[in-house]
Amino acid sequence: MKKLEMIIRHSCLEAVKMALLELEIHGMTISEVKGFGRQGGHKEIYRGREFTVDFSPKLKLEIALEDALVDPAIRAVCDTAATGAVGDGKIFVIPLENVVRIRTREQGEEAL
């Protein structure tokens, strides 16, 4: 089992969600995050003063899935979230030792 943590643009959420649903990946956690990478910051004007905004708003999606779905999920996210511009995001693949469904106490892939 693996956990995918994906940092994507807000505008890509619906397309990514639909692509993952097509793979029958139904559970995900979404958090609003801020960060920066190669795109760096940008400047904004507020009440006549210029400010540098170092962090860009992004979404972090987290999904747990069986090993066989990792590569298809990565392809689906890349196909739907890529705009070709700096700041498209990242996908982190993390080994997942175990999953426990609290309600039924099922473990492993059964709990997914």
Q: What confidence tens digit (pLDDT) does each residue in 1-21 have?
A: 999 999 999 999 999 999 999
Confidence band, pLDDT 50/70/90 cuts, at residue 93:
very high
CA-CA distance, 34 to 32, in Å (whole number)? 7
What does DSSP say about strands 49-53 and 42-46: parallel, antiparallel, or unpaired? antiparallel
Write the CB contacts of 43 (distance below 8 Å, at least 6 apart in sequence): 50, 51, 52, 53
Instruction: Write down the pTM of the prediction.
Output: 0.83
Of 112, 62, 110, 59, the closest CA to residue 89 belongs to: 59
In order of their start, the domains of the chain are: 2-111 (3.30.70.120)
Once rounded to an integer, what is the mean pLDDT over residues 33-51?
A: 75
Buried b (16+ CB within 10 A) or exposed e, 29-58: eeeeeeeeeeeeeeeeeeeeeeeeeeebeb
CA-CA distance, 57 to 47, in Å (whole number)? 21
